[in-house]
């Protein structure tokens, strides 16, 4: 019984965890389901458009993880400042995030705008696709990229605000913002990809435009919500009067956050290079990998939300100096994550032969996607353990 108590919490513990992660699960769940539907919509246009969009999203993925990695290091201090009631400290971490994200976005745009076609061509192998005109796929990819990069700006602003709100324990507002954005994105995808009434079908450009509009709407909602509730979130009051961050805190963040930033950047680049190697086997592999990764994101929702729970709950306890309580919470969350994702992994394996059938593509793509999904399902419990232990280490700096 003592061993069980170490890994299994009481009713109050699980109620607290559920209250925290349900908004995150809903937000990520709707996001990933709609991404799947968007993926299917683009997939109906053919293998070349789907592959072109997938390649661009893989490149943008590096930017997204860079933003996430930079914010992650700062969030360690944000959660700890909130845990001890230091609103000025939370304000300083918000400013640091904002500066980092603006600089990162400027660098990304300066690389993607002039060199976008060269980056895309790294994923298009002439020998593996000898029977295809790769200029068609390149054209689709560039059409998508030149619109999609506009969305980097609202994306980074949303990440600054929502990450800080979550550090204070607020998960409902980011969820609402995301749900609104996702709903707009889905409706606009239907209209802009395929056309409606007087609106012409725009194909992949419509998909990119829908995403950009949805991101701006999400940004407007979360910014207005935060600034209208200054009493609830005092860190936002006067946050832009100055972008000054105390130098000792800057060095602390850099010292602690740089390994996290490098971890995310190198991991995202590594994943991108792996996918680039996949692409040398042909567009069929790119398409199958795109299907697999989109479905994988849906089955990873619980795993991702548990990482957020560890970051928030453990980080707040550490900030308050309650070390033993932090250890106890962390141990139980790790067990819960691995156990739940073992079940989810088995469900993914069982459904793997059927999921690719919802796409309009070739048999070779179906077969490859099925095999990818089976391997993904078998590895899910391992990923779950790594994910929550990573967030455990991160929450402690």
* Dist. CA 357–CA 151, nearest whole Å: 31
Cβ pair 92, 279 in contact under 8 A: no
Mean pLDDT of 282-302: 78
Q: Which of 83-92, 97-106, 320-329 is most confident?
A: 97-106
**In the structure, what pLDDT confidence band is assigned to residue 250 with cuts at 50, 70 and 90?**
confident
Does residue 85 belong to any structural domain of this protein?
yes
Instruction: List, for residues 147-165, the tens digit of each pLDDT value.
Output: 989 999 999 999 999 888 8
Predicted pLDDT at 3? 60
How would residue 225 be classed by pLDDT, with cut points 50, 70 and 90? Answer: very high
Percent of the chain with pLDDT over 70: 87
Q: What is the per-residue pLDDT for 158? A: 92
Residue 219: the pLDDT is 93
Report yes or no on 205 lying in a domain.
Answer: yes
Q: Which one of 97-106, 127-136, 249-258 scores highest in mean pLDDT? A: 97-106
Q: What pLDDT is recorded for position 203?
A: 82
Name the pLDDT band for 223 (thresholds 50, 70, 90).
Answer: very high
pTM of the model: 0.74
Segment 192-207, tens digit of pLDDT: 888 777 788 888 888 8
Whether 153 maps to a domain, the answer reads: yes
Residue 14 belongs to domain spanning: 8-395
Does residue 1 sit within a domain? Answer: no
Mean pLDDT of 264-275: 77
- Please return the burial class of 71, using the count of CB atoms within 10 Å of its CB with bins 0-12, 13-18 and 19+: buried
Residue 2 lies in a domain: no
Is 137 within the bounds of a domain?
Answer: yes
Residue 114 has pLDDT above 90, yes or no: no
The predicted pLDDT at position 319 comes to 66
- Provide the number of structural domains found in the chain: 1
Confidence of residue 34 (pLDDT cuts 50, 70, 90): low
Q: What is the CA radius of gyration of the chain?
A: 21
Render pLDDT for 323-380 as a digit per residue (tens, 0 to 9). 777 777 777 778 888 888 889 899 989 988 888 877 766 788 888 888 889 988 898 8
Answer yes or no: is 375 within a domain. Answer: yes
Average pLDDT of the chain?
80
Is 195 part of any domain? Answer: yes
What pLDDT does 339 receive?
84
């Amino acid at each position: 019984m003592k061993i069980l108590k170490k890994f299994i919490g009481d009713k109050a513990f699980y109620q607290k965890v559920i209250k925290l992660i349900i908004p995150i699960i809903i937000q990520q769940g709707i996001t990933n389901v709609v991404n799947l539907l968007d993926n299917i919509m683009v997939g109906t246009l053919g293998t070349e458009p789907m592959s072109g969009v997938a390649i661009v999203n893989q490149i943008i993925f590096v930017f997204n993880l860079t933003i996430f990695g930079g914010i992650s290091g700062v969030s360690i201090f944000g959660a700890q400042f909130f845990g001890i009631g230091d609103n000025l400290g939370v304000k300083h971490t918000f400013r640091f995030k904002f500066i980092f994200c603006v600089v990162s976005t400027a660098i990304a745009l300066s690389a993607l705008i002039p060199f976008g076609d060269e980056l895309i061509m790294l994923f298009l192998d002439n020998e593996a696709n000898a029977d295809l005109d790769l200029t068609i796929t390149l054209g689709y990819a560039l059409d998508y990229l030149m619109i999609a990069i506009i969305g980097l700006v609202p994306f980074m602003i949303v990440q600054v605000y929502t990450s800080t709100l979550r550090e204070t324990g607020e998960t409902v507002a980011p969820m609402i913002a995301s749900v609104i954005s996702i709903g707009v994105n889905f409706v606009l995808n239907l209209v802009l990809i395929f056309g409606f009434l007087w609106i012409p079908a725009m194909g992949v450009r419509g998909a990119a435009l829908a995403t950009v509009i949805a991101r701006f709407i999400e940004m407007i909602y979360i910014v207005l919500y935060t600034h209208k509730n200054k009493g609830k979130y005092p860190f936002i009051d006067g946050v832009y009067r100055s972008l000054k961050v105390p130098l000792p805190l800057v060095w602390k963040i850099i010292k602690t956050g740089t390994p996290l930033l490098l971890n995310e950047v190198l991991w995202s680049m590594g994943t991108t290079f792996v996918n680039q190697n996949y692409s040398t086997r042909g567009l069929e592999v790119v398409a199958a990998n795109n299907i697999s990764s989109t479905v994988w994101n849906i089955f990873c929702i619980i795993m991702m939300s548990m990482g957020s729970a560890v970051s928030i709950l453990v980080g707040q306890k550490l900030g308050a100096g309650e070390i033993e309580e932090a250890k106890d919470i962390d141990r139980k969350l790790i067990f819960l994550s691995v156990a739940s994702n073992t079940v989810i992994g088995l469900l993914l394996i069982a459904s793997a032969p059927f999921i690719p059938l919802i796409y309009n593509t070739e048999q070779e793509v179906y077969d490859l996607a099925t095999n990818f999904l089976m391997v993904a399902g078998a590895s899910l419990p391992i990923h779950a353990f790594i994910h929550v232990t990573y967030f455990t280490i991160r929450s402690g700096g």
